[in-house]
Amino acid sequence: MSGETNKALARRIPLEAYNQGNITVFDEIVAETITDHFPPPGFPAGREGYKLFVPALRAAFPDLQTTLDLEIADGEKVVHRITVCGTHKGEFMGTPATGKQVTWTETHILRFANNVIVEHWGNADQSGLMMQLMPPQN
């Protein structure tokens, strides 16, 4: 499979699953037995965890939008650098809605085999996100 094909498949996750809430994307392009080195906090690792996480994230940030800032393909791997923004209108990781507009960045590395993602590494600025949700300090 070419790097261009892998990139086209990989970008479906931020653009369709996260931006549009289409969680069937995970069934279509993520292996059931994916090795996930960066599962969403508080959710099971793997495809089923993401199918639970995305609706919860979109409930907390209903206007959630991811922007693909950088996309690199190298053989069987695709790297994404994304910016995520949204308005905190629902509970998120134990924090009640604040109404604040927040922005954070993430980096993801996806490894493909047979047209599906079989391994995932990631890094998200979770502390930066949570700092934006905190009340102002006096």
Give the residue numbers spanning the domain of 84: 3-133
CA distance 128 to 121: 19
User: For residue 19, what is the enclosing H or E element?
Assistant: helix 19-20
pLDDT for the residue 3: 87
Residue 39 lies in a domain: yes
**Considering the chain, what is the average pLDDT of its residues?**
95
Per-residue pLDDT of the chain (138 residues; tens, 9 = 90+): 688 999 999 999 999 999 999 999 999 999 999 999 999 988 998 999 999 999 999 999 999 999 999 999 999 999 999 999 999 999 998 999 999 999 999 999 999 999 999 999 999 999 999 999 988 776
Number of domains, the chain: 1
Question: Quick check: is 138 in a domain?
Answer: no
Q: Tell me if 79 sits within 8 A of 70, measured CB to CB.
A: yes
Residue 70 is predicted with a pLDDT of: 97
